[in-house]
Structure 1
Amino acid sequence: MNDLSSRPARSSLTADLVGLIRRKPVAPADLEAAALFTLDAVANSLAGHNSEPGRVLMDWWRARGVSNTAPEPARLAFLMGALCHILETDDLHRESVVHPGCVVVPAAWALAAPRGASGQAFLTAVLHGFEAATRVGMAVGPAHYRIWHNTATCGPFGSAMAGASLLGLSDEAAVHALGNAGSQSAGLWQFLETGAMTKHLHAGHAAEAGVNAAELAAFGFTGPPQILEGEKGFFRAACPDADPAAVLRTPDAPWQLVRTSIKPWPSCRHTHPTIDAAAELRRRLLADGIGLDAIETIEVSTYAAAIDVCDRPVVQSDYEAKFSLQHTAAAALSFPEVDFAAFGAAARQSCASLAARVRIETVDPWASAYPVHWGGKVRLRLANGTELEAERTDAKGDPEAPLGREEMVEKAAMLLRHGGIENPAPLIDAILGLAASPALPDLAFG
């Protein structure tokens, strides 16, 4: 491998980002948080098998004759990343609108496992990867998100940074890795028009791109240091209202991983404030003995990005339902739990009448608070003129309204059982104990 550390670095945002990340101290609590987020991502990957896109991915994986005992890291990162993003229950960082876990954890796992890296080295790489992906994501600006999928475009920076940590790359080599990862940034929202499986490809590619870029950098393969701010770089090409200063802003803030939200419900994160508020209203209706037939209209107040992605009055598949404010509002009012079954064919049919009564609008304070706060309000107008409303400043699972450790473990166990693991406790314990473990537990993707 070539030592790139002797080559003078050209001043760049990427070089400063690498320096910022590597100077941040890692406390035991940070490693514990990274283990919980790793558990969430791994559980999502293994649960993703049990889905139509997951079965297609596994058919593709087996057809390629990939060895399950020693798969090529970049390909394994692709598979784990794609599977992780299928069920819409993976994590989300609000300010960047990036799902870092489905990109960073697969990349780190694919590189760490075959090298026998320690659990602490792996968890440190996860912290580094989350930081890079989300700091770039916070800088892209809202206009980028209207066309580009931030997880796909910003994720490669995170997977490359995690790889740079695990491979022990010099600062200079890490800059080259991020430069080449950023040059592979891609991922458009057009798939929403038909509900195609492309979103899962986005996460897989972002994980794979960073692994390839980091491994190549270890051999001396160079990349553009000014990939972010250059005249022909990422911000100029795809971010009309970029905020480059956000990449390095508040360098002494806690790790961005602990600012990342965990999803309690299997749908687009933009729907979660609506689900939470509507679930409260369901409980109030039940307590007062009021049936759903008494509801004349349902008003959902939210922010523009939620409407851009999730304004879907009529849904014809599980996936479309997960990206529908109308369906999720109706489901939260109809069912005691908004689980996987709440998006199936029977649930869609039973919710259709209620979903047709939903009206959505962009209203302050929710509109101006986004993306720092993802909130909203649901108001019911009943046939007798009564109005009931509930609002959320933040979604359940956000840092301001976090899931407890036991809730996260229960969620992981549910996902792992959904993926066919009848006794998930040993794997859960192994992942939560990574900080003191000499190696990663085995995962089977055969």
Structure 2
Amino acid sequence: MTTPAASLTEQLAQRLQRPVDAAARQRAALLLVDWLGCALAALRYPLAAQLRSVVQVQSFGPAAALGVGGRCVNDALLINGALGNVLEMDDVHRGAILHPGPVVIPVALAAAQAENADGIALLDAVVRGYEATIRVGRALGRGHYRYWHPTSTAGAFGAAAAGASILRLPADALADALGNAGSRTGGLWQMRHEPVPTKSLHNAEAARSGWLAAQLALAGMRGPRRILEGEQGLFAATAPDAVPEQVVADEADWLIHSTSLKPWPACRHAHPAIDAMREALGGLAEADIAQITRIEVHTYAEALRFCDRPRPSTELEAKFSLQHALASIFVHGRPQLDHYTAESCSDEDVAQWRERVHLTEDTACSERFPAHYGATLVLHLADGRQREAARIDAWGDPECPMSTDDVIAKAMALAQWGGVSAGLAQSLFGQVQALADGGSLDALNTMLARVA
């Protein structure tokens, strides 16, 4: 009798069992700082109040926005799972074309609180959750990305892995959790064409379904082991150009190290052009800038599909508008959060610059995507001169990393945007960084409770 080959989820579960090293924990702590800044900034938006009201009705008690644990884990995952993505400044993995942090970190944090785990267990869960999310995400392929939201699709696997890490599930139970999480995953991009916050809901639901799958596996519930490669599995149903071997390909290190961070408050597809614009304008006199008549952007097809919005009217549309991102630099300089408000969309000076931005596909950029997100920018001046700058990678990518100080500065600005005092934010982020060296999760939980 022939023994059937191990399924992809079984092989993935085995890979996730290996010990997490100190360097990966340090990276997890930095990404936790980044996520926390994004989530704190989102507290000023209507979605935070809407989610809190739903939680309060369901639980018959007050709802905290962050740091909810114990018997309120699902409440925490609904709120925290949604908030990290609201500002479009969450981390991103290029090859997988998704954002691991907004789904994985809320599960790791809430599960660690509920299970009275320590800070090291929390960071290990983050590392394993990122690993599962990225491995599944990169295997889904660009055909899946055309209609499906990979952060939600692959994120459910990462949420299950993070929860299973906290629960210390063995490999066979983890494979069951991955199977059940995958059987319910997904999220359609149609919400991108309408002024709705549904993308954030996708993330919250991925977090909640992954945590449920981990709990069910702990209770002994089996899951479909071939949910990825099976004849009616995820790849067959949603991923016409899936690359199954990417789920279990050998890697030199944990994939959390290959995650990019976002310095600018816009869709990641806009970042290479923003960087090229800032480079092209460097050293250009104000008199020369006034002569610019045309701005050409040559970039990859997906950037155009998501971010070709010449006349945005809302904050969300502004974040997904290459034209607005570049025009705002001419009027305001270094990109800031308040350059992407609804009011900024109606700024006449910004609108005039938007009309000068012209987008075209660069086939070389398209061929490099998603391994690299690139753009070439050409400024045309009235006297016939041209200024050109090109980026293969964006600031925040592993090839052009943000320093720890850069990440902390970003998180501080985000927290204060959300109404958190500089002193509290600094203490929070310091406590998060200390987790990798054995810092107290209880101390962090106490500070998180002050944000609620």
Assess same fold via TM > 0.5: yes
Residue type matched to 2:198 in 1? T
122-131 or 373-382, which deviates more: 373-382
**What are the residue-to-residue correspondences of 1:65-80 with 2, within 5 Å?**
65-66=60-61, 68=64, 70-80=70-80
**What are the residue-to-residue correspondences of 1:112-151 with 2, within 5 Å?**
112-151=112-151
Aligned position for 1:432:
433
C-alpha offsets along residues 192-250 of structure 1, whole Å, 9 cap, x if unaligned? 1112111110111111111111011111112100010001100001001101011111x
**What are the residue-to-residue correspondences of 1:27-426 with 2, within 5 Å?**
27-64=21-58, 65-66=60-61, 68=64, 70-249=70-249, 251-285=250-284, 287=285, 289-292=287-290, 294-348=291-345, 349=347, 350-422=349-421, 423=423, 424-426=425-427
SS of 2:283's partner is: helix
Checking the alignment, whether the CA contact within 8 Å between 1:74 and 1:107 is kept in structure 2 is: no
d(CA) in 1 for partners of 2:49, 2:417: 14
- Aligned residue pairs total 435
Give the percent of matched residue pairs that are identical in Structure 1 and Structure 2: 40
C-alpha offsets along residues 365-420 of structure 1, whole Å, 9 cap, x if unaligned? 31111111111111111222111111111010000000001111111111122222
From the two aligned structures, give the one with the greater helix fraction: 2
d(CA) in 2 for partners of 1:194, 1:384: 41
Cα distance change, pair 276–181 in 1 and its aligned pair in 2 (3 A): same
Q: Return 5+ residue gaps in structure 2 as ranges.
A: none
Checking the alignment, whether the CA contact within 8 Å between 1:229 and 1:244 is kept in structure 2 is: yes
Q: Return 5+ residue gaps in structure 1 as ranges.
A: 1-7
Checking the alignment, whether the CA contact within 8 Å between 1:78 and 1:106 is kept in structure 2 is: no
d(CA) in 1 for partners of 2:440, 2:49: 33
How big is the shift at 1:142?
Answer: 0.6
C-alpha offsets along residues 99-144 of structure 1, whole Å, 9 cap, x if unaligned? 0000000011110012221111110110000000000011011111
Checking the alignment, whether the CA contact within 8 Å between 1:278 and 1:333 is kept in structure 2 is: no
d(CA) in 2 for partners of 1:381, 1:156: 46
SS of 1:296's partner is: strand
d(CA) in 1 for partners of 2:5, 2:175: 10
Matched, 1:22 2:11: no
d(CA) in 1 for partners of 2:182, 2:261: 26
Checking the alignment, whether the CA contact within 8 Å between 2:288 and 2:381 is kept in structure 1 is: no
Residue type matched to 2:288 in 1? I
How big is the shift at 1:284?
Answer: 3.4
SS of 2:17's partner is: helix
How big is the shift at 1:9?
Answer: 9.3
Residue type matched to 1:374 in 2? Y
Checking the alignment, whether the CA contact within 8 Å between 1:129 and 1:160 is kept in structure 2 is: yes
Cα distance change, pair 162–66 in 1 and its aligned pair in 2 (3 A): farther
d(CA) in 1 for partners of 2:258, 2:432: 20
d(CA) in 1 for partners of 2:330, 2:46: 27
361-370 or 163-172, which deviates more: 361-370
Residue type matched to 2:321 in 1? S
Checking the alignment, whether the CA contact within 8 Å between 1:73 and 1:211 is kept in structure 2 is: no
How big is the shift at 1:58?
Answer: 2.9
d(CA) in 2 for partners of 1:51, 1:107: 22
SS of 1:61's partner is: helix
How big is the shift at 1:10?
Answer: 7.2
Aligned position for 1:12:
7
d(CA) in 1 for partners of 2:191, 2:80: 21
Checking the alignment, whether the CA contact within 8 Å between 2:115 and 2:166 is kept in structure 1 is: no
How big is the shift at 1:178?
Answer: 0.6
Checking the alignment, whether the CA contact within 8 Å between 2:48 and 2:79 is kept in structure 1 is: no
d(CA) in 2 for partners of 1:220, 1:80: 28
Residue type matched to 1:299 in 2? E
d(CA) in 2 for partners of 1:310, 1:53: 23
d(CA) in 2 for partners of 1:289, 1:206: 51
Residue type matched to 1:434 in 2? L
How big is the shift at 1:154?
Answer: 0.7
- RMSD, aligned CA: 1.7
Residue type matched to 2:149 in 1? H
Residue type matched to 1:28 in 2? A
C-alpha offsets along residues 49-87 of structure 1, whole Å, 9 cap, x if unaligned? 112323322333334335546452133122101011101
SS of 1:298's partner is: strand
SS of 1:223's partner is: coil
TM normalised by structure 2 equals: 0.92
Residue type matched to 2:367 in 1? S
Runs of 4+ in 1 over 6 A off after TM superposition: none
d(CA) in 2 for partners of 1:389, 1:54: 42
Residue type matched to 1:237 in 2? A
d(CA) in 2 for partners of 1:50, 1:117: 30
d(CA) in 1 for partners of 2:303, 2:35: 23
d(CA) in 1 for partners of 2:260, 2:387: 28
C-alpha offsets along residues 284-328 of structure 1, whole Å, 9 cap, x if unaligned? 33x363244x22211111111111111111101010010111111
